[in-house]
Amino acid sequence: MLPARQFSALRLADVLTSSLSAVCARPNALALPPVHKAIVILADGLGVSSLRARAGHARFLSSRLNKSSIIDGVFPATTVAGIASLTTGVEPGQHGLVGYQVLDEANDRVVNQLTGWDDGMQPATWQRARTVFDLATDENVPSFAIGPKRFVASGFTQAVLRGAHYVPADSVADRFAAARGILNDNPTALIYLYVAELDVAAHAHGWESDRWLAQLETLDAEVTRFASTLRSDEGLLLTADHGVIDVPSVRHVLFDTEPALVAGVRHVAGDPRCVQLYLDHQQSSVTADTLADAWRASQGDRAWVYTRSEAVSAGLYGRVADEVLPRIGDIVVAARKSIAYYDSRPTNQKARGMIGQHGSLTDEEVRVPLIRAGAFAR
């Protein structure tokens, strides 16, 4: 059941790079016109399907959503991979953040690429690509990243936002106010503005909840107000790193309870909708092919199951650098139905409280909006 997904010609990786090119008056993948200032808003977890389903609560955003304003994010459809591709302009196989949790082969451990940065996983080298903000510095274009104060010094921030001046602002309204101030104070600028609230609400309550809907209404209202202030030389793009589906606890699959699905496995990583399994190479009875066969026999059309070589050959991670290859699971299990895969053996089962989920290859998770306003409006 391997999907032959054809990703869209325009991808999340094109958004910030094209914005910088527009500021530098160069041709770009998105065909953006020249501007003096550009702002890119990343609404974490705002998939096209959810936005369409709640169009009446987001009139500004939904009114600008059409076939030409839908792009694909990345695989896995998870924040670390998506934001890194946005801010570097390259695919996960190049920047190296190929999942929420991945194998750190050198230290024989699973690392969390969102919150688990330490001396053994340095942001400046683990994330392998130069950022668009680094490139902006080369062009003498001031660049700014606006987000919650708690992320100022995080390892993930250092990995994917290096080169930008980080401006802390905790409320959504304060972030947009900060962006307006930067535009007012600088003759040229590239701004990245991060909105976490939708994703947080989706994980805790589901995207179909009133909590999520309230955050969508807040975002739409703030973007509406902000867009009305844009001058003729200021362009705005709004996109997302991934979409979300709701998975109730009755749809959790505890895969470790089927011994054949964990036979020979040393490490379990990834996301509940995109599990990455790493074999114990001290044993030889189980190979990637035989483990993949066991999963396919067990799960049927509930999941797409790849060996590492199959995933790479299919181009799911884009071009994959040799250094990055071991970070990808020996097999990758991407949920196809509305289920989530969990290992029930660890003591900490807090993650099983999540309702909103993402990570896999479905349209609901991969397709994201590309909303244009200001000088970038069509």
Q: What tens digit of pLDDT does each residue of 153-201 get?
A: 999 999 999 999 999 999 999 999 999 999 999 999 999 999 999 999 9
**What is the pLDDT, as a whole number, of residue 372?**
98
Q: What confidence tier does 8 reach under pLDDT thresholds 50, 70, 90?
A: confident
- Give residue 30's identity as a one-letter amino acid code: L
d(CA 132, CA 146): 15
Looking at every residue in the chain, the average pLDDT score rounds to 96
Mean pLDDT of 47-51: 98
The C-alpha atoms of residue 296 and residue 277 are separated, in whole angstroms, by 14
Sign (positive or negative) of CA dihedral 189, 195, 196, 202 = negative
pLDDT digits (tens, 9 = 90+) for 322-369: 999 999 999 999 999 999 999 999 988 888 999 999 999 999 999 999
User: Does pLDDT of 95 surpass 70?
Assistant: yes
pLDDT higher than 90, residue 255: yes
A 10 A CB-CB count for 177 gives 16
Proportion of the chain above pLDDT 70, given as a percent: 99
Position 6 confidence tier, pLDDT thresholds 50, 70, 90: confident
Instruction: Check whether 67 has a pLDDT greater than 90.
Output: no
Residues 6+ apart with CB under 8 A from 111: 101, 102, 103, 104, 120, 121
Confidence of residue 247 (pLDDT cuts 50, 70, 90): very high
Which residues, other chains included, contact 103 with Cβ-Cβ below 8 Å and sequence gap of 6+?
A: 109, 110, 111, 267, 269, 276, 278, 326, 327, 329
Work out the pLDDT band at 293, boundaries 50, 70, 90.
Answer: very high
**pTM > 0.95:** yes
Domains of the chain: 13-98+114-245+361-374 (3.40.720.10), 249-357 (3.30.1360.180)
Q: What is the pLDDT of residue 3?
A: 56
Q: Is the pLDDT of residue 1 over 60?
A: no
User: How high is the pLDDT of residue 4?
Assistant: 54
Q: Which DSSP symbol is given to 270?
A: E
Question: What is d(CA 49, CA 55) in angstroms, rounded to the nearest whole number?
Answer: 10
pLDDT classification of 2: cutoffs 50, 70, 90: low
Q: pLDDT tens digits, residue range 107-164?
A: 999 999 999 999 889 999 999 999 999 999 999 999 999 999 999 999 999 999 999 9
CB contact set of 327 (below 8 Å; sequence gap of 6+): 96, 98, 99, 102, 103, 104, 105
